[in-house]
Structure 1
Amino acid sequence: MAAPGQNVAVVVHRAGELRLENRPIPEPGPNEVLLRMHSVGICGSDVHYWQHGRIGDFVVKDPMVLGHEASGTVIKVGSGVTHLQPGDRVAIEPGVPREMDEFCKSGRYNLSPTIFFCATPPDDGNLCRYYKHSASYCYKLPDNVTFEEGALIEPLSVGIHACKRAGVTLGSKVFVSGSGPIGLVNVIVAKMMGAAVVVVTDLSASRLQKAKEVGADFTIQVKNETAQEVASKVESVLGCMPEITVECTGVQACIQAGIYATRSGGTLVLVGLGPEMVTVPIVNAAVREVDIRGIFRYCNTWPVAIALLASKRINVKPLVTHRFPLEKALEAFETTKRGEGVKVMLKCDPTDQSP
Structure 2
Amino acid sequence: MLACVIHGRGDLRVTELPVPDPGPSEAQVAVRYGGVCGSDLHYWRHGGVGDFRLREPMVLGHEVVGTALTGPLTGLPVAVHPATPCGICPECADGRRNVCRDTRYLGSAARFPHVQGGFAARLAVPAEQLRPLPEGLPLRRAALAEPLSVALHAVRRAGTVAGRHVLVTGAGPIGCLVVAALRAAGAARITVTDLLPEALRYATVAGADTVVRADDPADARWPAEVDAAVEASGVAAGLDACLRLVRRGGVVVQLGMLPPGPSPFAGNLVVTREVELRGAFRFDGEFDEALELLAREPVFDGLISAVVPAREAEGAFELAADRDRSCKVLLDFEGQG
Question: Where do 1:153-302 residues align within 5 Å?
Answer: 153-223=145-215, 225=217, 234-236=222-224, 241-275=225-259, 276-302=261-287
Find out whether 1:86 has 2:74 as its counterpart.
yes
Shift of 1:99: 4.1
- 1:56 and 1:210 map into 2 onto residues whose CA distance is 26
Shift of 1:223: 2.2
Q: CA offsets per residue over residues 35-59 of structure 1, 9 Å max, x none?
A: 0000101011101101111122211
- 2:153 and 2:37 map into 1 onto residues whose CA distance is 17
Residue matched to 1:65: 59
**Residues 108, 314 of structure 1: CA spacing in aligned structure 2 closer, same or farther, 3 A cutoff?**
farther
> Is 1:96–1:116's contact at 8 Å kept on the other side of the alignment?
yes
Match of 2:293 among 308, 314, 320: 308
Instruction: Name structure 1 gaps, 5 residues minimum.
Output: 1-6, 78-83
Residue matched to 1:336: 320
Q: CA offsets per residue over residues 98-129 of structure 1, 9 Å max, x none?
A: 34322222221111111000111111110010
> Is 2:227–2:246's contact at 8 Å kept on the other side of the alignment?
yes
Counterpart secondary structure, 1:303: helix
101-110 or 179-188: bigger deviation: 101-110
Residue matched to 2:104: 116
Find out whether 1:134 has 2:126 as its counterpart.
yes
> Is 2:229–2:253's contact at 8 Å kept on the other side of the alignment?
yes
**Residues 251, 288 of structure 1: CA spacing in aligned structure 2 closer, same or farther, 3 A cutoff?**
same
Residue matched to 1:4: none
Q: Counterpart of 2:238 in structure 1: which amino acid?
A: C
| TM-score, length basis structure 2 | 0.94
Seq. identity, %: 34
Q: CA offsets per residue over residues 19-49 of structure 1, 9 Å max, x none?
A: 0111111111122110000010101110110
Counterpart secondary structure, 2:284: coil
Match of 2:303 among 300, 319, 329: 319
> Is 2:59–2:116's contact at 8 Å kept on the other side of the alignment?
yes
- 1:302 and 1:30 map into 2 onto residues whose CA distance is 24
Which structure 1 residue ranges, 4+ long, deviate > 4 Å from structure 2? none
Match of 1:49 among 27, 43, 62: 43
**Residues 284, 320 of structure 1: CA spacing in aligned structure 2 closer, same or farther, 3 A cutoff?**
same
Residue matched to 1:151: 143
- 1:85 and 1:91 map into 2 onto residues whose CA distance is 11
Instruction: Name structure 2 gaps, 5 residues minimum.
Output: none
| TM-score, length basis structure 1 | 0.89
Shift of 1:313: 4.5
> Is 1:188–1:314's contact at 8 Å kept on the other side of the alignment?
no
Q: CA offsets per residue over residues 146-199 of structure 1, 9 Å max, x none?
A: 112221011101110000000143201100111110110111010110100000
- 1:299 and 1:71 map into 2 onto residues whose CA distance is 17
Counterpart secondary structure, 2:69: strand
Q: CA offsets per residue over residues 205-256 of structure 1, 9 Å max, x none?
A: 111111112211111112254xxx78x85324xxxx1110000012111111
> Is 2:50–2:257's contact at 8 Å kept on the other side of the alignment?
no
- RMSD (Å) for aligned C-alpha atoms: 1.7
> Is 1:245–1:269's contact at 8 Å kept on the other side of the alignment?
yes
- 1:38 and 1:222 map into 2 onto residues whose CA distance is 37
Shift of 1:351: 8.0
Q: CA offsets per residue over residues 312-351 of structure 1, 9 Å max, x none?
A: 1463111100111111111111111223210111111128
- 1:23 and 1:292 map into 2 onto residues whose CA distance is 44
- 2:241 and 2:129 map into 1 onto residues whose CA distance is 37
Q: Counterpart of 1:292 in structure 2: which amino acid?
A: L
Aligned residues, how many? 331
